[in-house]
Structure 1
Amino acid sequence: MNRNASFARKVRYIAAIALLLLPLAALSQPATIGKDASAGGKLSQLRSEYGLAQAQLGEIDPASESMKLATLGLRGVAANLLWGYANHFKKVEDWDNLELTVNQIIRLQPNFLGVWEFQAHNLSYNVSVEFDDYRFRYEWVKKGIDFLITGTQYNRNEPGLLYQVGWFVGQKIGRSDESKQFRRLFRDDKDFHELFRKNGVEVDREQAKGPDGKPDNWLVARLWYNKAIDSVVYTGKPIRGKSPLLFYSGSPMSRINSASAMAKDGRFEDRTELAWRAAAGAWHSSDYEDRSQLDVGEECYGNREIPTSSGLNIRLNDLEAARDRLAAADAEIDKLAPGVRAALKAERESKLSDEEKAALKKPEATRTFDEFALAREATTKINVTNAEVIAGAPKEKRNAIRELTERMESDVELADWIGRYRGIVNFEYWRSRCRAEKMPRTLTARKLVYDADLLTETGEQFSVAKEKYEEAWGLWSEIFREFPDLMENAEAQDLIDSIKKYRSLLGQIEQPFPKDFVLKSLLERHAEGQTLLEQVKLLEEAANEKPAETKPAEKPADKPEESKPAEPKPAVETPAADKPTDDKPTSDKPAEEKPADEKPAEATPADDKSADEKPADVKPAE
């Protein structure tokens, strides 16, 4: 009986397993291609829908699959060992073995994005700097970029890797110490351009060419950023490891960097102005003249909807509209409670220090860095909240004011988030920069500085260079008055470097640095500018002290000439001269008592001359 029960139970188990195989076979049926193509079972359809299959993830590599099988389930251990070897080869500077080891790692971990990002950075940034020749450095930068592009093949439409390719092409080639040489090599690197073409980036497009008609690294980087954005928008891939705020800023910033690089390369033609117009349209502007320079379908960064960490979606261009609504609501509150806000503000202003009051009164464009800090602190101190206005308002108006403040809450939150996110990407500065740079006046100012720098470096036509500098400083002072934000950013350092060259030029032609220098407020906002002003001040003080020291020295030199005609007069005083024997011992003794190191060789001849002259003086007396 027991044996029969056990046998029956086993039969039931086998029958159940057999029945389960039928739905499992239907669920796991693979997709097929060709004439009788099939989407496959449910699991295959889900893999296709969510991009989970290797066919959707990227390239299927038989060698990679063989390595995974060969590790017998110890793929993680093998990968860790290879990472250790890679770090070792990097330390001992065995670059060939490092490259081979990295290629083995990606066979084991082709879909681990950290492998591609870390090792590409290692090749382009860490290994490249170990070489002295910039051409070898450039080759290793290319290897890092090539490695990333390979990663985009194994991880198809992955926004993070596509973004990283754009970052390396733009930042590593365009901002390194050898950027001038790297950019030149990139423009003529046809093999590198062909690699981009094979991966869907047409570097021959007009949108990727610089003013010389060759591919520009910043504009090529923009095409990679756009591929990353398209991957998010059209394939629904999530943005991993980067804030959407920064992710979407890559493309418009590439336009800005390209336009800026044109000026540094000495390009000041109409194309540079158009490049800044395109940069303005891509960053913030809704002006048709700026928007007309963009590609078809290219969206303005300031108008792009960006999710925040609070779940609120914002547009960076909406801050002014939100602030206008808040200002209108504040004005309505002030009508309901007239004089309350003004009285509270005046009371708090009276308690400010003299330095804070002076900083508030001073125009923003002329404030120093310390005055900006004081002004911000003072503004916070005198700020009056609506809750304080409600407390001081008439009782019958308080409910109406509360309703207004409740309606303002959404705009307050919106303005707060937009303000924070603008600060992260320095939105106001780049908006002001684009507006200023697209004006012909700014283009002229930059050309004047560029030409003057060249003349100064070559040591030619100092007077012409001085005139160009001073004309440029006048234009820049006008630009900074209209766009004071431009003085705050590190980009102003280039202009400070030119001011230092101007000061050096003045020293060579023996002219002082102007006391009322028109760009003094710019210098005061930067450490190097402050150092320059201190040096100029010290030189001025030293120059003022020199005349006071030389005048006393000149008077003794004049006196002997005036007293020479009066020298015969002592001849009348013969009684004093009649005792030469008494005078000589007294005059000789001090000379004998002088230390050995103080007795000059000239002292003896001087005494001998006076002894020879005395008989001549005595003869006329006789």
Structure 2
Amino acid sequence: MNRLSSRQRKLVYFVAILLLLIPIFVLGRPASGNSGGGVLAELRRPQGQELGLSEHNLGRVDPTSAAMNLVLLGMRGVAVNLLWMDYIKQQETKNWAQVRSTTESITMLQPHYLQIWRYHGWNMAYNVAAEWDDVRDRYYWIKEGAKFISDGTDHNRFSPELNYEIGRILGQKMGIADEWRVYRKFFNPDGRQYEDVPENEKGDPDPRYRGGVDPELNPDRLDNYLAAQRYYQIANDLEGQGFQQHLMMRHIFRQYPYRCRLDNNGVLNKEGFFGDFVIGEWAQAEKDWIDGYGQERFDTGEGFQVNLELPSEAHYAELARSQGVEVGQVRRMVRSFQNVVNYRYWRTRSLSESEPTTAAAHKLLFEGEELFKRNELTKARTMLVEGLDGLDEVLSKYEDLITEDLTVEEALWGLMLIKKIDELLEKPPTDDLPLTGLWNRHLNDKVPTLQFNFNRRFGGL
């Protein structure tokens, strides 16, 4: 080599570099389109197809941007940081169209980083949606959040967490927000409870769907909670197959498909839908809660497992004996797990709601409020009192419900309406109303909150 001139040495180096590039290309060529790629790509192709890990593009990144220059130089992490800075700036200036585009670029550069999908989907559904005044625009961005995370499941097909997040948006966001009545009518205009609602007041407001449903999120035309239930069930199925979730304790995570049916039944009552159909739905929800969720086994972290439905002392004793532990240990952990998910309350409530007496009480209270809104005060008062009498009978039979917020608030709301009617009719205050003791018990905590909500809805009558 020393005998070679400087020019000859440069030629040798150049040829050596070219020769080294050949194996690098053969080994490392990425898969794209119909091409299987190089040797390494072929070796990991079966696992990549199974786990959805193959990547063959640079993403939808602006080709003129600095981020693209960094990507081409192999500095993907730096490019992502630059895109995040752009994203934050665009959100601060409310440049929503560009926010969506930048978000897609970030996820295409890091498609298997779950936190990106979860954060941006949640941000669209909760933060971006809240920036809009029109309820139709808020609904659009809530859907965009769910769709965005759904896109993430295409890249991460075995992620329980992403499916859980879609369920949370469809269920909790659409079902609990202040505008939940509107969102539910937008999401599923075919619901039985909306048969008498005019066509122009229900159905997706997006002109593309002509008052129907958004087929991307609700192809089977279900209520929002039942659509959420499907995603929660997918998450449970994946978790059951061994794909881990890191969001919460396992017995909390696995309750959600069962809770969706319970929540859907509760909101049907709030919408004024009663009768045999809803009673049957509550009966089915009770069966699913006890025979489905209640029979699942969960590790306690103390060397044994428990399930949440143990109807007798004999069942506690058998579970303890089969695992070689004390009955007291089993009882303590079962009680602890039940408390975390409010298991006994939902069991008791679903049992009580499947009785005609409870359905009749709900109906009377609902119709009494509707009469109040129409200023038919005397009829409204009579119906509300009858509804509270029925609810009092239910609470006498199912005493556990009297300490739970949902039941207490329904009773207090009925009492507040009666007291407002008495004020409007200039009647003297009375203490002989059903469940007056409940009112006195919560005079300093729940009653002021309900008073605030009443003023928001009825203008401080």
TM range, smaller chain = 0.7 to 0.9
CA offset at residue 226 of structure 1? 1.2
What residue in structure 1 maps to residue 81 of structure 2? 80
**Equivalent residues in 2 for 1:78-227 (5 A)?**
78-187=79-188, 188-189=203-204, 190=209, 193-196=214-217, 203-204=219-220, 214-227=221-234
> Where does 1:235-254 land on structure 2 (aligned, <5 Å)?
235-254=241-260
Over residues 492-516 of structure 1, what are the superposed CA-to-partner deviations in whole Å (9 max), with x where a residue is unaligned?
3233222211111122223333323
Q: Which runs of structure 2 are paired with 1:553-564 in the superposition (5 Å)?
A: none
CA separation in 1, counterparts of 2:324 and 2:151?
51
- Higher helix proportion, which one? 1
User: CA 1:446 to 1:242, structure 2 compared with 1: closer, same or farther past 3 Å?
Assistant: same
| Contact 1:316-1:422 within 8 A present in 2 as well | yes
Check 1:112–1:103 CA distance in 2 against 1; reply closer, same or farther (3 A cut): same
Task: Return the match for 2:415 from 481, 492, 499.
Answer: 499
Alignment TM-score, normalising by the size of structure 2: 0.76
Distance in 2 between the 1:42 and 1:182 partners? Answer: 46
Equivalent residue for 1:509?
Answer: 425
What is the distance in 2 between the residues matched to 1:486 and 1:478?
Answer: 12
Write the mapping of 1:374-393 to structure 2, written as runs, cut at 5 A: none
Q: Deviations over 1:112-135 (max 9, x none)?
A: 000000011111100111111100
1:127-526 residue pairs with structure 2 within 5 A? 127-187=128-188, 188-189=203-204, 190=209, 193-196=214-217, 203-204=219-220, 214-233=221-240, 235-284=241-290, 286=291, 300-318=292-310, 320-321=312-313, 325=317, 410-460=326-376, 462-492=377-407, 493-526=409-442
Q: Give the whole-Å Cα distance in 1 for the aligned partners of 2:286 and 2:250.
A: 20
Q: CA deviation at 1:277?
A: 1.0
Deviation at 1:232, TM superposition (A): 2.6
Report the AA paired with residue 94 of structure 2: E
Matches of 1:141 and 1:253, distance apart in 2: 21
Residue pair 1:432, 1:485 contacting (<8 A) in 2 also: yes
Q: CA 1:530 to 1:253, structure 2 compared with 1: closer, same or farther past 3 Å? A: closer
Per-residue deviation, residues 190-211 of structure 1 (Å, max 9, x unmatched): 57542147xxxxx43xxxxxxx
Deviations along 1:351-377, one digit per CA (max 9) or x if unpaired, are: xxxxxxxxxxxxxxxxxxxxxxxxxxx
Cα 1:115–1:495 shift into 2, 3 Å: same
How big is the shift at 1:252?
Answer: 0.6
CA distance in structure 2 between the aligned counterparts of 1:530 and 1:226, rounded to whole angstroms: 35
Contact 2:60–2:105 under 8 Å retained in 1: no
Q: What is the distance in 2 between the residues matched to 1:141 and 1:42? A: 38
Secondary structure in structure 2 of the residue aligned to 1:469: helix
Q: Which amino acid aligns with 2:281?
A: A
Cα deviations by residue, 1:539-582 (Å, 9 ceiling, x for unpaired): xxxxxxxxxxxxxxxxxxxxxxxxxxxxxxxxxxxxxxxxxxxx
Contact 2:112/2:156, CA 8 A, preserved across alignment:
yes
* 8 Å Cα contact 1:111-1:155 kept in structure 2: yes
Give the alignment's TM-score, normalised by structure 1. 0.58
Shift of 1:41: 9.6
Cα separation, 2, equivalents of 1:322 and 1:58: 50
Q: Report percent identity of matched pairs.
A: 28
- CA distance in structure 2 between the partners assigned to 1:428 and 1:219 by the alignment: 22
1:63 to 48, 54, 58: 58
Aligned to 2:17: none
Amino acid in the other structure paired with 2:164? Y
Q: Give the gaps of 5 or more residues in structure 1.
A: 1-20, 198-202, 205-213, 287-299, 330-403, 536-622
Task: State the 1:410 CA deviation.
Answer: 2.3
Letter in 1 for 2:224: N
Cα pair 2:186 2:213 within 8 Å, conserved: no
Paired with 2:140 and 2:81, the residues of 1 have a C-alpha distance of: 28
Contact map agreement 1:319 1:419 (CA 8 A) in 2: no
Counterpart contact for 2:187–2:224, Cα < 8 Å: yes
- Cα gap change, 1:130 to 1:446, in 2 (>3 Å): same
- C-alpha separation in 2, matches of 1:186 and 1:311: 45
Residues in 2 aligned to 1:222 and 1:123: alpha-carbon distance in whole angstroms: 21
- Per-residue deviation at 1:301? 0.6
Give the structure with higher Rg (CA).
1
Q: How far 1:271 moved relative to its partner?
A: 1.0
The structural deviation recorded for 1:100 is 1.6
Distance 2:56 2:279 in 1: 48
The amino acid that maps onto 1:78 is A
Shift of 1:318: 2.4
Structure 2 equivalent of residue 342 of structure 1:
none
In 2, the alpha carbon distance for the partners of 1:480 and 1:224 equals 34
Asked whether the equivalents of residues 246 and 425 of structure 1 are also in contact (C-alpha less than 8 Å), the reply is yes
Q: Aligned partners of 2:346 and 2:100: how far apart in 1?
A: 40
CA–CA distance in structure 1, aligned partners of residues 445 and 136 of structure 2:
35
Please state whether the residue corresponding to 1:476 is helix, strand or coil. helix
Q: Which amino acid aligns with 2:113?
A: F
**Which residue identity does 1:195 align to in structure 2?**
E
Q: Structure 2 counterpart of 1:255, which letter?
A: R
Amino acid at match of 2:230: L
* Partners of 2:70 and 2:79 within 8 A in 1: no
Output one character per residue of 1:432-461: Cα deviation in whole Å (capped at 9) or x when no partner. Answer: 11111111000000000011101111101x
The 2-side partners of 1:226 and 1:68 are apart by 42
The residue type paired with residue 74 of structure 2 is G
Gaps of 5+ in 2: 1-22, 62-67, 189-202, 452-461
Letter aligned with residue 267 of structure 1: F
The 8 Å contact of residues 294 and 308 in structure 2, kept in 1 or not, is answered as: yes
**Cα shift readout 1:375-395 (whole Å, capped 9, x = no counterpart):** xxxxxxxxxxxxxxxxxxxxx
1:264 to partner: Cα distance? 0.8
Q: Spell out the pairing of 1:536-555 with structure 2 (5 A cutoff).
A: none
Deviation of 1:414 after TM superposition, in Å, equals 1.4
Report the alpha carbon displacement of residue 138 of structure 1 after superposing the two structures with TM.
0.4
Q: Structure 2: which amino acid aligns with 1:63? A: L
